[in-house]
Amino acid sequence: VHISLVGRDSMRISWITNDDSLALVEYGTSPWAFDRSATGDTSTYRYFLYKSGQIHNVVIGPLDPDTIYYYRCGGAPNKMYSLKTPPAQLPIKFAVS
């Protein structure tokens, strides 16, 4: 599963499957309490003899700043992930040591 920021209040969630599962993300602010959902698109590609899996992309939002969200992809009954949205005040400064 890959996540990326889309604008100030949305996140793109991407994942790959080998089957024709739905491009669906269910999410909420409490673990296993998914009170919102969003759908997206699915694509594949070929390169010579290689064929990719099903690449799913879903944008969720609007999301509140500085909040932990719990989500699951494709309606998977036993896999839950979490993400934390950035604070409302940007830019964010990072230090690496």
Residue ranges and CATH numbers for the domains of the chain are 2-84 (2.60.40.380)
Contacts 24+ apart (CB under 8 A), 18-21: 18/53, 18/54, 19/54, 20/54, 21/54, 21/56, 21/74, 21/75
CB-count exposure of residue 46 (10 Å: 0-12, 13-18, 19+): exposed
> What was the pLDDT predicted at 97?
55
36-84 per-position pLDDT tens digit:
999 999 999 999 999 999 999 999 999 999 999 999 999 888 999 999 9
